[in-house]
Amino acid sequence: MKLSLNWLKQYIDHGFSADELAFRMTMAGLEVEHQQVCGDDIVFEIEITPNRPDCLNMLGLAREISAITDKDLYIPTVQQHVDAPGVDIVIEDAAACRRYIGTLIEAVSVRAFPAEKARLLQALGLKPISNIVDTTNFVLFEFGQPLHAFDADKLAGGRLVVRRARKGEKIVTLDDVERVLDESMLVIADAHRPVAIAGIMGGRDTAVTATTRRVILESAYFDMGLIRRASRKLGLTSDACYRFERGVDFATVEKASDRATDLILELAGGKVAGRKDTVVGDRHALMPTIMLGSGDVQKLLGTTIDPARIKRILERLGCAVTVAGDSLSVVPPESRNDLKIMEDLVEEAARVIGFDNLPMTLPNVGAVNIPVDLENENFIPRIAANLIAQGFNEILTYAMISRLALEKAGYAGVAPIAMQNPMSAEQELMRPTMLANMLLVVGSNINRGQKDLRLFEAGKRYLPDGERWTLGIVVTGRREADWRKGKREFMDFFDVKGALEAALGRQRVRGVTFLAGESASFEPGQAARVLIDGREIGWIGKLSDTVLLNFDIKKTGVYFAEIDLEYAAAAVGPHAKFEALDEYPSVVRDVSLAVKGVLFEDMRTLCLENAQGILRKVELVEEYRGDKIEKDTRGLVMSMTYQAKDRTLTEDVVNAIHEGIVAKLVGTFAVRRR
């Protein structure tokens, strides 16, 4: 919005220099982005936020400056014109046009606009045309209400109809471009054809020219969404469109019409030969009455402001204010739809005074008995830090995803949450799993030559019963180089499992176990459920080739884990305490078994349960698969460490217990000793 300081002087004597005024306006929320000298005038370029269409005119800005400077505002006196026969107006689309005023003025004389007023328009970048057209532009910038003047003698049938365009209708607009219309657009038509695109631009064939003697002045209230869509579809905008699509004031439709009528009669002569103010439906919802209590300002700003000063500020902004005991009863003007609640009024007072002018105070915070669990609060950052220390890279993906990507990932969980108004098909769902987005990252990296990846993300999944903090880990490619080995080995299931166990173990998460399972996203027989004390908190395994190909990943060996961090945080155990060093020696026994269809974890559990409390550790030392063993059978070498806390174990005791455990394994799982 451009503001001419010479024009501004017609409404308020603010007494500031241009630089000081620019500073005061900017600090009050009307940012002056640029100043330009235009002859003897200075023009401000002001950034107006979308919620303040009331400032898209000279009087609106003058009203703001009146409140900022506490100076009186002069508003031009306008004669109220009443309806009279002579104008035929029909509104066919009541939802698109709530109000339309047509004023017929006869015997006008079209000539140049007065030089003084013309210079004001030129400062804003407008080229003067004639006293009739320039009057509509002058009132547009003065009141913020778009107007249009038709040559009444060029209107077929002498009537104006507000209707939707018909398919294929055409109009040549004032910029001499022929435009094809459709049924989504609102037009002003005479008896035969469109003569203006409503709220955007008038037609060339009914424009006011030097020979015009009778004009019909239009002032209307159009639906802002309809105007915005038509403008985008046509690729056509204007000063009128800019204001209509942000919303105009219902009452100003009449004020601006009367002001323009007065100016035309003054500058072009003639007389009002007819007028019709057509209002469809209810005028408007009444503006709310807002109560501003004596303690509200202190509560929100931490300081007090004289109620008389607040009352004066709000009145200068156009509000109707009455004192009601210790409170103010405030009714905002119709042009201020952004003032709805008490907090809005406090903000208005604060910004006009200047937030920088308010005294600085420390907040008064009362002590509360709410325990803060810092251990839990820092759980997720510590998990992330541990994975980074292990050599992983942290990634951040979108919280939204497409339905197609979710299907490609083999997701078979609860129904995902759909966005009501998605920005694109790629962001139509809130992610119920981290897998799909992480695979998009994996595919992007592999396609760019980065094939050795260790990635994780700690973020939220979105489920019907709420949001859940979740950890996703993915690994693929080769391990880091080790000078002790001749070649780099490929990562496998145990790399991602080990990373997860290390991260959770470092944070003292207790009761973590893994149980074989099947999932649509993983290869059969190569996936496991992650449990904490028997409760499932996630999955881990090798992703299926089908899922990888769905994401254009032509590389096998991608391993993924996903766990619920909130369940994991709830399982954090106490800090480790010092334990005295063992006083008695340990005894190690190994056993080699041929195993078929049995999990090591199950055998380990059985060993511990049958060791009479002296088996301290069971480890898998070696696994063999090959020609020297039966098909679908694997050879396992298990190392068992025996140790007592209160005595030295003898060979006979250890051998007896060890042989008993092996016999139990053979009898329970049908394994064979090798």
Q: Based on the fold, state whether residues 637 and 509 are members of the same structural domain.
A: no
Q: Based on the fold, state whether residues 21 and 130 are members of the same structural domain.
A: no
Q: Based on the fold, state whether residues 154 and 31 are members of the same structural domain.
A: no
Q: How confident is the model at residue 376 (pLDDT cuts 50, 70, 90)?
A: low
E strand intervals along 408-517: 417-418, 429-430, 453-463, 466-476, 512-516
Q: How confident is the model at residue 537 (pLDDT cuts 50, 70, 90)?
A: very high
Q: Based on the fold, state whether residues 108 and 224 are members of the same structural domain.
A: yes
Of 69, 98, 118, which closes a domain? 69
Domain annotation covers residue 581: no
Number of domains in the chain: 5
Q: How confident is the model at residue 169 (pLDDT cuts 50, 70, 90)?
A: very high
Which two three-digit tokens encode residue 429?
A: 């769902």
Query: Can you give the pLDDT at residue 158?
Result: 84
Q: How confident is the model at residue 202 (pLDDT cuts 50, 70, 90)?
A: very high
Q: How confident is the model at residue 364 (pLDDT cuts 50, 70, 90)?
A: low
Neighbours of 612 (CB within 10 A): 13
Which two three-digit tokens encode residue 64?
A: 């703001």
Residue 288 pLDDT more than 70? yes
Quick: pLDDT tens for 393-409. Answer: 999 999 999 999 999 99
Q: Based on the fold, state whether residues 559 and 604 are members of the same structural domain.
A: no
Quick: pLDDT tens for 12-51. Answer: 998 899 999 999 999 988 999 999 999 899 999 999 988 8
Q: Based on the fold, state whether residues 57 and 103 are members of the same structural domain.
A: no
The residues that bridge with 71 in the sheet, in sequence order, are none
Whole-angstrom distance, CA of residue 176 vs CA of residue 197: 14
Mean pLDDT over each residue of the chain, to the nearest integer: 90
SS3 for 326-365, per residue?
A: CEEEEECCCCCCCCCCHHHHHHHHHHHHCHHHCCCCCCCC
Query: Can you give the pLDDT at residue 284?
Result: 59
Q: How confident is the model at residue 618 (pLDDT cuts 50, 70, 90)?
A: very high
Quick: pLDDT tens for 633-662. Answer: 889 999 999 999 889 999 999 999 999 999
272-298 CB burial, b ≥16 within 10 A, e <16: bbbbbbbebeeeeeebeebebeeebbe
Query: Can you give the pLDDT at residue 163?
Result: 94
- Burial label, 19 (beta-carbon count in 10 A; 0-12, 13-18, 19+): exposed
The residues that bridge with 119 in the sheet, in sequence order, are none
Pairing mode, if any, of strands 159-164 and 320-324?
unpaired
Q: How confident is the model at residue 373 (pLDDT cuts 50, 70, 90)?
A: low
Q: Based on the fold, state whether residues 273 and 334 are members of the same structural domain.
A: no
Give percent of the chain above pLDDT 90: 70
Which two three-digit tokens encode residue 346?
A: 């406090």
User: Domain residues for 346?
Assistant: 290-355
Residues 519-532 have a mean pLDDT of: 91
Domain annotation covers residue 370: no
Q: How confident is the model at residue 425 (pLDDT cuts 50, 70, 90)?
A: confident
CA distances from 388 to 9, 471, 599 (A): 64, 13, 31
Quick: pLDDT tens for 552-603. Answer: 998 778 999 999 999 999 898 888 788 788 889 999 999 999 998 888 888 9
Q: Based on the fold, state whether residues 177 and 237 are members of the same structural domain.
A: yes
Quick: pLDDT tens for 436-480. Answer: 999 999 999 998 989 999 999 999 999 998 999 999 999 999 988
Residue 369 pLDDT more than 70? no
* CATH code of the domain in which 147 resides: 3.50.40.10
Quick: pLDDT tens for 101-124. Answer: 999 999 999 999 999 999 999 999
Of 279, 310, 332, which closes a domain? 279
Query: Can you give the pLDDT at residue 660?
Result: 93
Q: Based on the fold, state whether residues 513 and 410 are members of the same structural domain.
A: yes
Name every residue whose Cβ is closer than 8 Å to that of residue 20 and which is 6 or more positions away in sequence: none
* CATH code of the domain in which 13 resides: 3.30.56.10
Name every residue whose Cβ is closer than 8 Å to that of residue 116 and which is 6 or more positions away in sequence: none
Query: Can you give the pLDDT at residue 326?
Result: 85
Domain annotation covers residue 54: yes
Q: Based on the fold, state whether residues 198 and 127 are members of the same structural domain.
A: yes
The residues that bridge with 475 in the sheet, in sequence order, are 454, 559
Q: Based on the fold, state whether residues 607 and 659 are members of the same structural domain.
A: yes
Q: Based on the fold, state whether residues 92 and 57 are members of the same structural domain.
A: no
Residues 210-222 have a mean pLDDT of: 95
